[in-house]
Structure 1
Amino acid sequence: MALDKILSIGGKPGLYKLLTQTRSGFVGESLLDGKRVTVGLRSNVSVLSEIAIYTLEEEVPLREVFQKIKDKEDGKKTAINHKADKIELEEYFFEILPNYDEDRVYASDIKKIIQWYNILIDNKITDFVVAEGAAEEVPAETASSEEE
């Protein structure tokens, strides 16, 4: 399953798989417990394929960050827990993305990225690389602490 079918819904924990669209929103299924939710159009929803992380030079698509974590962890869950101390999270993320913008990427963003990565690994969603010949998407938004 591609990251363009995986959603983060504001105010709801974890990630959701997009099942279908309705007239008033869409239906998603939790990757944590399999429960289905109906989400209205007014909800704060982010598609993982459209999220990017600020670096000092550019914005790096979240899928590339996930791939770097996957490479570091040999395809397994992260060695660090998303509930670790701020300093530990920042040190870990610095190993993944050494040029990330520390002023615009908060500890809460790093927690979400690590938590989301582990949820995706648990659900055997590990294809983070864009297929050759596929059009590269321009990120529409970036991860920020306002999405919580």
Structure 2
Amino acid sequence: MEHVDLRKLNSGELTQVRRQVVRLKKMGKPGKEIEEITGVRQNRISEIWTAYQREGDGSLEPKKRGFQKGTHLRLTPEEQAEIREAVITRHPEEFGIPGSLWTLKRVCAYVWKKYRKKISDGSVSDYMRRWELTCQRPVKRARKQDPSRI
């Protein structure tokens, strides 16, 4: 018999299979017969039924997976505020990082220099998005240019 891999089902299909298992269990069908009808292994049938008895209809809907947003961050809120302020108001050269504009790699270097924490470019990009900072194309003029002398 071909068994169904519940991990590969989308949320709608998973809910439908769980409802079918509960309906058959309520009808008094034994686990072996439910397994033959639905293709779900008996141990999963037992887990679905136990969860249904404990939580009711709420157990039939799939739960959201993964970490909650904002948890498991490498930097503390205080560190984030300091880094954001530095990126907005200062230049990398002021911290001994070569270059006049902030890039993801330069922010990584700054974090390592200041807090001794390694962060990937992708994580820095996520932090920048969270801080509502975006990549900007630099204006084509000298930074120390005096407009009144031109």
Larger relative strand fraction: 1
Give the structure with the larger helix fraction.
2
Looking at CA atoms only, which structure, 1 or 2, has the larger radius of gyration?
A: 2
TM-score when scaled to structure 1?
0.31
